[in-house]
Amino acid sequence: MLVATQPGTTDADEHLAALVATLAGQSPPSELQLFTVAGEHTWLRQLASLPHQRAVVDPSEWIRVAETIASLRAEVERRQRMSETTKQVDQVLVMSELASIDAQDDLAYLLSKGAEYGVRVLAATADTGVERSELVDDLSSRIVFALQDEEASSRLLGAPWALTLAEPGRLLLQLGRRKEVEVLGLHLSEDGRRDLLASTGVVEPAPAREEVVDSCLDQDPIDAAENILPDAPEHSLVEPVAASTEELHQSVLGDETGLPAELDRASATNANGQPEAAVRPTETINTPPRLEAGNHSLESQGSGAVAAAPDIPPRITRLLTSTPLVVNCEEASVWSEKGRLDIGQSSPVEVLLYLAAAPLMHQGRLADWDGVDPDTLLAEIWAPRARSPENRDSGQTWLGKNLSRLEDEIKRAAGVLGAEIVVKRRGGLCLNGDVVRSDIEGFMAAVERARAAQGKEQIAAAEQALAASVPGLLTRVARTPRTAGPKIELYRWLGEPHWERAAKRLEALGREAGMLLGRAYRDAGRYDDALALYEQLLGDDPLDQRAREGLLIAAAGTRDLVQLERAWQQVCAGIGGEDDAETRSLYDQLRHRMNGHSSGASYARHALGVTAKGRVGPDSR
């Protein structure tokens, strides 16, 4: 199996590590042996201490890599010569980057002959050369994350669909010659890795999930008993979305895995927690590692202030070029150039996220935003949990302590910053842009620039706006019941109607960024690029009138009647065959006039005039 992603991302390595952990959690070392080729700072290398490992080699040690693969080939040849049909131990070659392997002849032999004799290959790659090479033909199954290379997508899947995977963590799975299926991928959490190693007697078990969450939460005098409602209902806390091993098999391996049965065996007996020598052949480990769905970003790895080997989201990376810290409003985290800060979830962090998301409430230019009224912040965060919400002095004290602790937490995790995190602007509270920025504020600023851009600057500005899009407002956190400590509900304000509208506005801004880029592509005569973008927008929301009309206009700009007809069929499929008179009229006019203009650009300009008739305001398609 090949797990592929685009250059600069670690989705493939993370997902392959989750798959290997699942296999190790279901088979004892007496039935499964791993031969791993992975660098020091990779997800697969974190599984190096599994007793299943027979070799763990750095890809830079090319002689040892070649020897390892050659030994596996020799094992296949030995098994070929054996006359008896007794079951053999499964041997699996696992590689964090297929492009780093030079032993092509031996590897090709394993791919063509090994599976028949219980020697298999699992590989990840973020190299477009591998993805486009003929080597792909020898890998019977593929897991493909978002790609930017159409040829690579076609080589892997037989279709360019990997270019349309916009949501983090989404992947396309193809088993053999079956049709590809879109599912949500998983990655291994730090707690899950420790649990898996603990089940084999390698390390001590990780603390219980509730303990991990509670240790991150605010339980000091900031939310002291006198400030909390004594009979508050059972509230919930925030922690990353999790998924079970069974869900991993359903979403990634499916009912028929495409892998030999030995690697897809259900667990039957719990392990005794001892090292390999004490594991009997009939035992299985059956310790499902903790896996997390969606965005493939690293958890905090240990007690350091910054997560090791960070996979910083691209939109966060761009903002870090202009400020030391960035608040990620999708997953309630703070990032520096070294990675995600280890600050957990608490009342101070909730205040930070509230201020980071608050620009969504402002409808004008960001330069005219005055920040958050402190009384509004207290009413939405402090008052619902306070014993005496009418006591304004108590609220001000609570806010002051939270801001002070926030400063301490950020400085502990990121080092000396030299300035305050939160400042006052015309009486309102806001983030200090010299120290920390919100990804939402950065995105809104990028959309403003794209709206104002003219001429040759339109495409670059619109591309930057689309790249800066924030997928959602705190959509990467979930609430679970809390069994101990003060009953504090973090992010309760998200359920208020105006915050629900703010989340929808964020989504609308994302679509506006796409529409602005589509229009810029059309204005520049890049109709094929515009078509691809409008197809994606229409796929996300088939009822979006702007996307339907933009797709038709872009298709007409190509001066290709086949493209126009194809676009019309997509529109009809999206609206379920319903008769949309306005869109039908546009299509008829485009088709009728298509041969009456000398160029796609001149016709597209005419089409804009047709669609703008009778409407107020600028055309945003």
CA 568 → CA 588, 600, 611, distances in Å?
10, 17, 16
pLDDT bucket at 597, cuts 50 / 70 / 90: low
- DSSP letters, 367-431, are GG---B-HHHHIIIIIGGG-S-TT-HHHHHHHHHHHHHHHHHHHHHHH---SS-SEEEETTEEEE
Least confident of 49-58, 186-195, 293-302, 386-395: 293-302
pLDDT score for 325: 95
Lowest mean pLDDT among 229-233, 316-320, 364-368, 576-580: 229-233
pLDDT of residue 188: 78
CA separation for the pair 56, 35 (Å, rounded): 6
pLDDT at 489: 78
Number of residues in the chain? 621
| Band (239; pLDDT cuts 50, 70, 90) | very low
HSE, CB side, 13 Å, CA atoms: give it for residue 82.
12
- Condensed to tens digits (0 to 9), the pLDDT of residues 452-474 reads 999 889 999 999 999 999 999 99
Q: What is the mean pLDDT of the chain?
A: 78
Model confidence at 166, pLDDT cuts 50, 70, 90, reads: low
pLDDT at 321: 93
Among the residue ranges 55-64, 214-223, 575-584, 587-596, the one predicted with the least confidence is 214-223
pLDDT of residue 255: 38
Q: What pLDDT, on a 0 to 100 scale, did the predictor assign at position 579?
A: 66
Cα separation, 212 vs 460, in Å, equals: 44
* 531-559: average pLDDT: 91
pLDDT per residue as tens digits for the range 272-302: 333 333 323 333 334 456 566 555 433 333 3
What is the pLDDT, as a whole number, of residue 151?
82
Based on DSSP, count helices (H) and strands (E) in the chain, helices before strands.
Answer: 20, 18
User: What per-residue confidence (pLDDT) applies to 532?
Assistant: 93
Instruction: Let me know if domain 2-189+244-293 sits in CATH 3.40.50.300.
Output: yes
E strand residue ranges, 474-601: 478-481
pLDDT score for 204: 53
Distant-in-sequence, close-in-space partners of 464: CB < 8 Å, separation ≥ 6: 318, 446, 449, 450
pLDDT of residue 287: 47
Question: Does 512 score more than 50 pLDDT?
Answer: yes
614 band by pLDDT with thresholds 50, 70 and 90:
very low
What HEC string does 241-284 produce?
A: CCECHHHHHHHHHCCCCCCCHHHHCCCCCCCCCCCHHHCCCCCC
Run of H or E residues at 141? strand 141-144
The token duo for 325 is 């810290």
More confident residue, 344 or 16: 16
CB burial of 401-438 (b: ≥16 within 10 Å; e: otherwise) equals: bbbebbbebbeebbeebeeebbeeeeebbbbbeebbbb
Cα–Cα distance measured from residue 312 to residue 316, given in angstroms and rounded to the nearest whole number: 7
pLDDT at residue 574, as a whole number: 80
Residue 542 pLDDT > 80, yes or no? Answer: yes
Residue 354 structure tokens: 């509230």
Given a cut of 80, is residue 303 above it in pLDDT? Answer: no
The two tokens of residue 365 are 């230019």
Distances (CA, A) of 41 to 8, 10, 256, 287, 434: 14, 11, 33, 25, 31
Least confident of 140-144, 193-197, 351-355, 594-598: 594-598
* pLDDT over 80 (residue 596): no
Lowest mean pLDDT of 57-66, 267-276, 322-331, 573-582, name the range: 267-276
Q: What was the pLDDT predicted at 581?
A: 84
Report, as an integer, the average pLDDT of 564-582.
82
Give residue 488's pLDDT.
Answer: 66
What pLDDT score was predicted for residue 69? Answer: 92
The 3-state secondary structure of 76-122, one letter per residue: HHHHHHCCCCCCCCEEEEEECCHHHCCCHHHHHHHHHHHHHHCEEEE
Residue in the structure block whose two tokens are 């790895």 = 301
Mean pLDDT is lowest, of 81-90, 192-201, 464-473, for 81-90
Computed on alpha carbons and rounded to an integer, the radius of gyration of the chain in Å comes to 27
Q: What is the pLDDT of residue 70?
A: 92
> Out of 258-267, 401-410, 460-469, which region has the weakest mean confidence (pLDDT)?
258-267
Predicted local distance difference test score (pLDDT) of residue 451 = 94
Q: Which phi and psi (to 5°) does residue 187 adopt?
A: -140, 160
54 pLDDT more than 90: yes
CA distance 488 to 551: 48
With b for 16 or more beta-carbon neighbours within 10 A and e for fewer, the 104-121 pattern comes to eebbebbbeebeebbbbb
Of 164-168, 255-259, 409-413, 509-513, where does the model show the most confidence? 509-513
pLDDT at 156 exceeding the cut of 80: yes
The per-residue pLDDT for 358 is 96
- Pair of tokens at residue 68: 């390892």
pLDDT of 87 reads 67
Res. 248 pLDDT band, cuts 50 70 90? very low
Mean pLDDT, residues 332-351 taken together: 90
Tell which residue, 233, 246, 252, has the closest CA to residue 145. Answer: 252
Q: What pTM value is reported for the model?
A: 0.52
Residue boundaries of the structural domains of the chain: 2-189+244-293, 314-493, 525-612
pLDDT tens digits for range 91-132: 999 999 998 887 778 888 998 888 888 999 999 999 888 877
